[in-house]
Structure 1
Amino acid sequence: MRLLIAVTLAALAATPALARTEHRQLPRPDGSTIAYSVDTPSGPIDGVLVLAQGSGCQPTAGNANLKAVRQAFPHHLAVMVEKYGIASDAAIADGFTDCPPAFHAGHTVKQRVADYVAVLANLRSAADLPLVLFGGSEGGLAVAMLAEETRPAATILLSSATGIPFAEMVLSTVPAEGHATVEAGFAAARADPQGTALFAGSSHRFWADILDRIPADYMLNSGSPFLIIQGGLDTSSPVAAARATADRFAAAGKCNLTYWEFPALDHGMRSPDGTSHLDDIASAIAGWVAGIGTTAGC
């Protein structure tokens, strides 16, 4: 089921102006607040697009990758949810070294998924619209889990190392001489699953929640059509982990996975000369979503 694709992608067509972006809030059961934005097109709405960012704590408004994907779906209502402890207008420059204490106290992938579920339940106007989920890197794991809990029309995971445990993925990106240090950090997090002490820039709470999660486990439990997009030069989310997901779907006889591998692109869909191809890939993603239902199954 391994598929290498080599296609020439069309540039994005002109898109209609967006009517407005609303910044909203929703209370969590623990008394904290979910901050999220709803970007509404000016004309008819074809569906709801949930955009899940990768690692770090920067607000979604400054995320160029999410913006590129959003522009490829001009007729969708777009929803972006901030991570725990992050306001939509938070002044965060780096997104790793300057995250607020509230972020480290509450941010986990499990919490992200709970927040998305709460926000979608609160969007009454979106109840009968087709749902499209997009997540990059860490966000891919979040939408894989969300796809199991919702009924999306399509789920897209970009550069997300979907086929192996997160801990194994991290170790695969670290030189052998650094494994003992990383494994000691993992052990400390497992022993302190609610802790806010930091290891490699993230809290023990975050690590304890994510270490054993495998996106493919959630994907195999969902009937959503999935699209995995992977760069062959990705050193953050290794290509072998993405291929492992395609192999698992094939072994299970599942027909709801499409796998695109771009051998000359990296984690951010850049070629070795630094050129970003994400706009073109976002356009191709929109085409794939539009074609769902017209393609043959197994």
Structure 2
Amino acid sequence: MMKVISVFTLLMSVSFTANAQLSEINKFEIARSDGSSIDYYIRKDAPIIHSNTILMVLQGSDCNSILHIDSVDDLKLAWPGADLLLIEKYAITSELAYSKNNERQDCPMDYLKTDSLDQRVSDIFQVIKEVDATGSYDYFLMIGGSEGAVVANIVASRTDLIDATASFNGGGRWFLDDVIHSIKYGKPDTAALKAEIEGFTGMANHLITNTELEMVISGHGSRWWRSTLQLDQLKQLAKVKSPMLILQSEQDQSVSVTSADKMIDSLINSGQKNISYQKYPNLDHSFRNAAGESKLADVVKDIRQWFSAVAVGFE
């Protein structure tokens, strides 16, 4: 059963018009079948105005609380009038301080043991079914970036509750291709590089074939690695029926643009009409240009324009 924990007002304000309005966040807990709890939040940036639309923003692969990720405020502007739905990952709460360190020492052990694509998708479905049951919203929008893009793609492939999805820099069909791209990025083609790639490929195969093996590599546990390495993202996207916008930076150092292009081409050639594809030639995985300047705001404007084009009744 969903439990409301608290309601509080942020000291920060977000401006939609000339007048900034205080944001109100409702925090909820919902129990998983294993007895643990999912923390999630519904943020209302205009509490006195009812919105019939809720926007869910999914974070990437970092071990951080979704409440402490600054880009959420930018992504929220993809549909400013919507309420905002944010879901914590397994064993993470807002008490965990923000860190840019991908291998932070204080990352909860339960997170490292349990986090995976499957776990995130399961949590999301549990939450959105609970939110939908309240009858407060007619429309659900979704945005995810990096790993959050992959999770968004899976969710969109398994439900008709999501009315439109924007996912960015989620890579191609196979995660292994993305990791190899990341290993090779900016490095000369040497014997050492070849050995590094072979070493990772061997490790990946070892993890997949030895399902009882438990280890933490680059800030992720075995379940996470197995779920990402075994996912066929093309197969997931082929099942999506609702409108979807896929965005990809061409200077992405973390995922393979070539693999993403091939995946999209395959979908288009198969006759899939609901997917739009937009690329950004001079931006990296975080939507920064060569000078290090963030262009996320421009990307968000594109997402908003696309949402507007597919919107039917969104507020």
1:185–1:158 Cα change, 3 Å: same
For structure 2, the residue ranges without an aligned partner over 5 or more in a row are: 1-14, 185-193
1:158 maps to a residue whose letter is F
Cα distance, 1:158 vs structure 2: 0.7
The secondary structure found in structure 1 opposite 2:176 is: helix
Contact 2:157/2:240 (<8 A) preserved = yes
| Of 165-174 and 13-22, the range deviating more from structure 2 | 13-22
- Where does residue 157 of structure 1 map in the other structure? 167
In structure 2, C-alpha distance between the alignment counterparts of 1:130 and 1:140, rounded to whole Å: 19
Kept after mapping to 2: 8 A contact 1:228/1:257: yes
The amino acid of 2:57's aligned partner reads L
Structure 1 counterpart of 2:41, from 34, 37, 42: 37
Matches of 1:126 and 1:215 in 2, distance apart? 32
Q: Which of 1 and 2 has higher RCO (CA within 8 Å, sep 6+)?
A: 1
**Equivalent-residue separation in structure 1 for 2:32 and 2:180 (angstroms):** 34
Matched pairs, number: 282
- Cα deviation, residue 173, structure 1: 2.2
1:7 alignment partner in structure 2: none
For structure 1, list consecutive stretches of 5 or more residues without a partner in the other structure.
1-11
Determine whether 1:206 maps to 2:216: no
Q: Using the TM superposition, give the Cα deviation of residue 93 of structure 1 relative to its aligned residue in structure 2, in angstroms.
A: 2.5
Which letter maps to 1:17?
Q
- Letter paired with 2:255: S
- Give secondary structure in 2 for the equivalent of 1:173: helix
Deviations 1:67-100 (A, max 9, x none): 2111332211211111111012223524522211
SS at match of 2:291: coil
Mean alpha-carbon deviation: is it higher for 186-195 or for 196-205? Answer: 186-195
What is the aligned counterpart of 1:138 among 147, 154, 160?
147
Give identity over the alignment, percent.
Answer: 24
Match of 2:179 among 161, 170, 181: 170
1:150-186 residue CA offsets vs partner (Å, 9 max, x unmatched) = 222111111111x321122212222333112211221
> In the alignment, does 2:122 pair up with 1:114?
yes
Distance in 2 separating the partners of 1:118 and 1:195: 28
For the residues of structure 1 that align with 2:159 and 2:51, how far apart are their CA atoms?
Answer: 20
Larger C-alpha radius of gyration, 1 or 2?
Answer: 2
SS at match of 1:132: strand
Q: Provide the rounded CA distance (Å) in 1 between the counterparts of 2:212 and 2:136.
A: 34
Residue 147 of structure 1 is matched in structure 2 by 156
| Range with greater deviation from structure 2 (48-57 or 63-72) | 63-72
Contact 1:53 1:136 in 2 (8 A): yes
The CA distance in 2 between the partners of 1:269 and 1:227, in whole Å, is 16
CA contact (8 A) 1:143 1:155 kept: yes
Could you tell which deviates more after superposition, 168-177 or 72-81? Answer: 168-177
